[in-house]
A and B are shown apart, each in its own frame.
Chain A
Amino acid sequence: MKSVDDHWQALVTTALLGTDRREPPEAPQLIADLVADTARTSASERMLALVAATTAVRRAGVVPGPLLDELAIPDGDDRRPCVPAAVDRWHHITVSWPVLEDEWMLTLVTAGWRIAPELLPAMLVRHRSDPVRRTRVMVGAGSTGRWLVGHLPDLAARHPNATVTPEALAELPELPIAPELAQLVNWPGAESGGVLAQSLEDGTLGHPHRAMLINLLARVRADALLDIADILDAVDSASPGYGLATVLGDLATTRHRMLDELST
């Protein structure tokens, strides 16, 4: 007796040629019963009824495919995956404050975290071409990273043979900061924040200096960030530097929270 699948294949063959050239195949009883009450005169009408009925029967009878072998799982990694807040932070900084991304990754690796698995594909795609950042991702990902790339070649590095020195791997990239601002990098937060707020309020610093100020806040000492954020948030809303102060305050807060989430 012909199965529904065999009947379907016969229908596909007839449909390819068209009913002008080939009569519809005889249906198995199950399908024939379904279309028996239809008054159809032409071959194409009978064929359409058969196709509709067979499709409905095949869909309703959806069954699992064959049993499949398990994939080999990656080697174990003792490091804990970073917390969900850090995952959200990474998404936020890559969109809003990419200047912080290198520090996020280095802090994660130094503090002994593993990259959360849900971040891995996005990170591997993002850093396919940059050998230093790519290597940091692979270090943070551990065995899962290598296993994943083995299964999905789309995630492989563009320059797999590029060499990276340990120094380049461990150091944050140098950011250009004007000499008169560079001294603020190591000042306590209350002092550096005060100078910045004063300069923004009186217009000494403004939007032309935005990139330099962002670099500065990406490198000031970590324990100064909270104070700086508080002081910048208190900048007079009527002053010309208020908008920029708000933006820089957000950067300081974001960096503070990022480091907090990745602390051990």
Chain B
Amino acid sequence: MVDHQHVGFTCTCPSRKTPCKHALALLLLWVRDQVVDTPPPAHVSTWIDRRSARRTTASRSADGDGASSDTASESTAPEPAASETVEAGDAIGESDPTQPVPQPDRNTARNDRVERMHGGLSELDRWLDDRIRTGLADPSLARYATWDDLAARLVDAQAGSLANRIRRLAGLVGASPGWHDEVLAELGLLHLLSQAGRHLGSLPGPLADAVATSVGWQVKQADVLAGVPDTDHWIVAGRSDVREDRIEVRRHWLRGTSSGRWALCLSFAAYQQSLDASLRVGTSVHADIHRYPGPALRSLVGARYALPVEPVSPPSHTIAEGCDEVGSMLVSEPWLDRLPVTIRARLARSGGVWALADATGSLPVLDAGTRQFDAGLAMLLAVSEGREVDLTVEWTPHGVVPLSIHLPDRTVDIGPRANTSFVSAA
């Protein structure tokens, strides 16, 4: 909504720019005389009335103080843009529009949060510096306290995503013969994120959004859902469940039939809660997808326009083409640690390690290690019988995780599944 007479605007979009592009677009339309002259809807009238009441109160207050004349009051009437853009919720939040409402100083709260995050990122960089100075052979790396203390401090600094990365990193120490290699790479990416996070203001908009999200900046679901939707027939190409700390995380990878773009829908469940079972692998859903800020794949499913259709499968690539697709996604965000790709490949063995292979090369399958029997790999072997099949996999830096096998008449979901004694996971 835009008040062109007293210059004010409000929007439900998550943009941190003031005014946002939607308000600017509306003003441009008005300047070009392209806004239809109709009676304002109820919520617009309420907003205008409230602004008017505020102006009246402010001018009375100014008169009472013996301040300047009406003319002078008029000249200072336009309100600061920043205070307007945070009014998205107040159309439904106030009972008496004639009373001035004390606004929470959201900019101050935001600045405090940014400052805390900067402090946390500086501390992370100091910690990384110590690790590099003393070396990965330092016995302190094998102690959980080394990692847990840092993770806790990052949580306090509102950098929850980095805290999760630190906890996952702790699990890599000593877990495989090549753990030094994996830990060093992750330390490098943490350094990259901490540096980028401390210079958000100087980064291009989409990259800044991506870094902020990767560091742990929270965006409200309502704000994401208020954004412009990406409407398409979305193929649910794969699913994977992963336990992170005490939360089970379900990832659904969707691919747009028209756009060819990937989207990631997450659901979370603590003990005895339920994961989202509304997206079934191998079906296509005609729906709106609302993306989080930045180029990241994370999205929310909005309106659904029809019942799911099956069987469908995304277009597949050779392994070389799949690597190109993954590489192009990693160029913009090298810290991403899971990416989807659909390839046509067969299982093969390479020195005791399972791999996916075709005529262009191979990709190692992520080793389940000693944790448990790898049911997904066994299903893939049984269904493919050593032949090439179309399959959606999740790329990780340590190998690919097969998620689903796309057969002509059906899709077989073979992604890692949550333990049903912990959460309900249909």
Contact = CB atoms under 8 A, between A and B. Distances in A.
Interface of A: 8, 11-12, 15-21, 42-45, 47-49, 51-56, 58-74, 84, 117-118, 120-122, 125, 144, 147-148, 151-152, 154-155
A59 B361 contact: no
Contact of A71 (B125, B134, B138, B386): B386
Given A51-B188, A63-B361, A84-B410, A73 B378 contact: no
Contacts of B346: 70-71
A62 B379 contact: no
Most buried by A among B188, B364, B373, B382: B382
Contacts, number: 162
Given A45-B129, A62-B327, A64-B361, A73 B386 contact: yes
Interface stretch (B35-43, B230-238, B347-355): B347-355
Interface string B279-301: 00000000000000000000000
Nearest to A120: B382
- Ranked 4 nearest A-B pairs via Cβ: A64-B361, A18-B135, A51-B188, A121-B378
B74 interface: no
A45 to B, nearest CB: 7
B237 to A, nearest CB: 17
Nearest to B364: A65
Given A147-B385, A154-B373, A67 B357 contact: yes
B181 interface: yes
B45 to A, nearest CB: 52
Given A12-B184, A52-B189, A54-B188, A61 B381 contact: no
Nearest to A50: B188
Interface of B: 125, 128-129, 132-138, 180-181, 184-185, 187-189, 191-192, 195, 319-320, 323, 326-327, 330-331, 334, 346-350, 355, 357, 359-364, 373, 375, 377-379, 381-383, 385-387, 395, 397, 410, 412, 414
B379 A60 contact: no
A56 B192 contact: yes
16 contacts: A16-B136, A19-B133, A48-B125, A53-B188, A62-B326, A62-B330, A63-B323, A64-B323, A65-B355, A65-B363, A67-B361, A68-B355, A117-B382, A118-B412, A121-B379, A152-B378
B330 A73 contact: no
Nearest to A144: B385
B389 to A, nearest CB: 11
A68 B362 contact: yes
Given A17-B137, A44-B132, A147-B385, A65 B362 contact: yes
Contact of B382 (A19, A66, A84, A118): A118
Contacts of B326: 62
A11 B359 CA distance: 33
Contacts of B377: 152
Contacts of A59: 327, 330, 334, 397
Contact of A56 (B320, B334, B387, B395): B334
A8 B184 CA distance: 10
Given A55-B334, A60-B327, A121-B375, A16 B189 contact: no
B198 to A, nearest CB: 13
A142 to B, nearest CB: 11
Contact of A70 (B132, B135, B379, B386): B386
B217 to A, nearest CB: 20
Contacts of A20: 133-135
A53 B187 CA distance: 11
Contact of A51 (B135, B138, B185, B363): B185
Nearest to A38: B195
Nearest to A43: B133
Contact of B184 (A51, A122, A152): A51
Nearest to A45: B129
A49 B190 CA distance: 11
A80 to B, nearest CB: 12
Contacts of B181: 8, 12
Nearest to B183: A15
A16 B132 CA distance: 8
A122 to B, nearest CB: 7
A120 B181 CA distance: 37
Nearest to B322: A64
B114 to A, nearest CB: 23
Nearest to B397: A59
A51 to B, nearest CB: 4
Contacts of B189: 52, 55-56
Contact of A47 (B132, B180, B363, B364): B132
B349 A68 contact: yes
A62 B363 CA distance: 10
Contacts of B195: 52
A62 B349 contact: no
Contacts of A120: 378, 382
- Residue among B137, B187, B188, B387 with most chain A CB within 10 A: B188
Contacts of B364: 65
A17 B331 contact: no
Given A60-B330, A64-B361, A154-B373, A144 B350 contact: no
Nearest to A9: B181
